[in-house]
Amino acid sequence: MKSVFRAAALLILLCAAAVSRADVKVLASLHPLALVAASVTPAEDLSVLVPAGMTPHDFSLKPSDIRRIREAGIIFWGGEQAEPYLVEFARRWPDKQWIDISQFAPQDDHEAGHPGHDEHGNGHNDDHGDEHESDEHQGNEHHDPHWWLAPDVMIRAQAALAEALNQDPAPFAAAVTAQLDSSRSQLAAVKEHGFFVFHRAYDHWVEAMDLKQLGAFTISPERKPGMKTLQAMREQLQNGDVRCVFSEPEFSPAILDSAVRGLDIRRGELDPMAASVAITSDGYVRYLQHLTEQFRRCLAG
């Protein structure tokens, strides 16, 4: 009889713990991370720090943002490289649960090369002047912090969030895995078609899909390429290896307009911030499909 009472008491405690975690406030730092968090977080308990349509490249914290961080129980964020403005608060409030998605990346990632690039970060040689020499230096140091575009990493990060909320991570993992299989199938016919992206945000997706990324107009949106760099890239665009160039909705396409003027090269748009995808329980899977369609549409022409 005592064992029955003990088991019943344990069950009550477990249920109480589950209930206590059900209404934990989760703050996703970025819109694409909110798409992942929504798979296990009720809408009323989930908020996003950086507004949709804005990138961490041009975001700065306001007092109201700091208040939202203070009120959250769990912060689901991109890590120090992607979001340096949150590092101080992670140190200041260690009692909160900070789930840093970059911690779920492969340990040897920073030692491995990234696909679709030469060692200089852009798809051209290193003899084009001082601006490109700076690109060369940053290219060697560049490690893509956009881990939400690495689905295998997000499966592991979501599992950590699910555990913190006493939720089952299996449905998310299964749905993402199925979508990856579908995406690879949809992109199989265009995987050898070369393309340029606006900035170095897609390395992980390119690797996952085995695509042929030939270069990026800039490593980071804060760094605008110089005239010699643009000329070198235009020469590569003229040789016919590049099927498509991708802009991003958060940034002016003026650089791309100049580079492709007069050339028969298709234009597409990629959004690493997934601003057009609504935050729902299947939002991340829908974003992966949207990304797949954007690549397939532009590369197939």
Q: How many CA atoms lie within 13 A of 270 on its CB side?
A: 25
Q: For the whole model, what pTM was predicted? A: 0.82
**In this structure, what token pair is assigned to residue 225?**
């390429």
Average pLDDT value for the chain: 84
- One-letter amino acid of 214: L
3-class DSSP state for residue 178? helix
Taking only the tens place, the pLDDT of each residue in 46-105 is 999 998 878 888 788 999 999 999 999 999 999 999 999 999 999 999 999 999 999 999
Task: List, in order, residues 6 or more apart from 50 with CB less than 8 Å away.
Answer: 29, 30, 31, 56, 59
What pLDDT sits at residue 133? Answer: 33
What pLDDT sits at residue 49? Answer: 97
Taking only the tens place, the pLDDT of each residue in 113-133 is 444 443 333 443 333 333 333
3-class DSSP state for residue 92? helix
Torsional class of 106: left (φ above 0), alpha (ψ -120 to 50), beta (otherwise): beta
Given a contact cutoff of 8 angstroms between Cβ atoms, the answer to whether 35 and 277 are in contact is yes
Domains of the chain: 23-104 (3.40.50.1980), 109-299 (3.40.50.1980)
Choice between 216 and 159, residue whose per-residue pLDDT is larger: 159
Map tokens 């914290």 to a residue: 61
Q: In what order do the strands lie in the sheet with 212-218?
A: 212-218, 194-199, 242-247, 266-269
End-to-end CA gap in the chain: 73
Q: In what order do the strands lie in the sheet with 97-100?
A: 46-48, 26-28, 74-77, 97-100
Taking only the tens place, the pLDDT of each residue in 175-199 is 999 999 999 999 999 999 999 999 9
